[in-house]
Amino acid sequence: MADGGAFERPSAAKEMPTIVIIGDAIMDVQVSGLAHLPDWGKDRECQAVGLLPGGSAANVARQLGSIGAGECSVAFFSTVGDDELGQLMLRTLCSEGVLVEPRSTVRVLENTPQSTCIVLSGPSDRAMVTCYASVRQLTIAPFVGHPALERAAIVHISGYFNCTGLHDDETLAVLAACRARGALLSLDPQYDCTEAWTGRDGHLAHLLTMLDIFLPNEVEACGLTGASTPDEALNQLAARYPSLLIILSVGAEGALAARGAQRWQRAALTAPFVDATGAGDAFDAGCLLSLLRSGVHDVEAALAAGVAAGAIAIGTAGACQHPMRRELFEAVLREGSSRLALP
């Protein structure tokens, strides 16, 4: 994306509703098959190392663009570095063909290294070490007036704690304008590596009052509330924000949801496990597509779609090496675990 130029009106998918994803684009160095984390000064053997596109928001956008193909258009607003890894990230976003004109929605930052995450994937979970150089510079200002943002049916921010440039009043103003035009506002906070859980200058508390949908996982929800269990965290969030739909992914247990005094629960599908990385992002993509289809009142459908997408994601290595196929997603959503390659 060239700075300072007027936005061109996208020619594709004008008649379809648009979902805008705003947030982090991070290249993943994927270390798979790691039995134990290494100690300082020691080595551990792994099964494979790969270089893959990632970032919570990029994963959500790519998965959603694939499973929603022909049903919605997906625009992804982000930043990348101008080094080789940043070029690879942008080429991938363009070549997959699931997003609306990424070169108009992804800024290339001069003299900035691409944000990169080393993902250490173990038998049941993962750990990460991340450089945030390019995602820290993501702001909403360069995208104001973009046609996709102006016509969005849903605006979803993902990787919020990674993208501190979004923690400002202008982001709140732009989101308020989107909501005034009828857009649903959604947020997945991602893990806060500072463990303050507030955003810059308490920004998150202001943002949460504007949202329609909040999509933390159990660790994030407990971090935000100080609760010791997902149920306790959900209850605290629902009490603080009674009009907010809170959808809480709880890993192998499935998903919980609340709005005020209402509660919902969906069990996880039985699925072959390869890698948990990116499962939460796939869950978000499934939920968002369902919310576009049925609205915020059909919470059971949203949980079912999220659980289906998450079950597919844990059966593949990496956060989103390739976006999942729409046909597989629809089959698992319709028929459940029977469509997954179980042992």
Identity of residue 149: L
pLDDT > 70: percent of the chain: 95
Per the listing, tokens 């806060």 go with 192
- Name which of 78-92, 119-133, 178-192 the model is least confident about: 119-133
Q: Contact at 8 Å (CB) between 31 and 120?
A: yes
User: Is the model's pLDDT at 2 over the cut of 50?
Assistant: no
Rounded CA gap, 24 and 188, in Å? 11
Q: CB-based burial of residue 201 (10 Å sphere; 0-12 exposed, 13-18 middle, 19+ buried)?
A: exposed
In CATH terms, 18-37+46-337 corresponds, of 3.40.640.10, 3.30.1960.10, 3.40.50.300, 3.40.1190.20, to 3.40.1190.20
Query: What's this model's pTM, rounded to 2 decimal places?
Result: 0.91
- What's the confidence (pLDDT) of residue 319? 78
| Per-residue pLDDT at 3 | 52
In order of 23, 192, 199, 223, the CA distances from 195 in angstroms are 19, 5, 10, 7
Give the model's confidence band at 6: pLDDT under 50 very low, under 70 low, under 90 confident, else very high.
low
Tens digit of pLDDT for each residue in 282-297? 999 999 999 999 999 9
pLDDT digits (tens, 9 = 90+) for 45-78: 999 999 999 999 999 999 999 999 999 999 999 9
| pLDDT above 70 (res 253) | yes
- Percent of residues in the chain assigned helix, strand, coil, to nearest 5: 40, 20, 40
- What are 194's two structure tokens? 């500072």
pLDDT for 125 beyond 90: no
pLDDT beyond 50 at 13: no
Report for 69-73, 333-337, 338-342: range of highest mean pLDDT = 69-73
Query: What are the residue ranges spanned by the domains of the chain?
Result: 18-37+46-337
Structure tokens, 329: 């997603």
Q: What is the pLDDT of residue 8?
A: 57
Q: How many helices (H) and strands (E) does the chain have?
A: 10, 13
Mean pLDDT computed over 141-147: 96
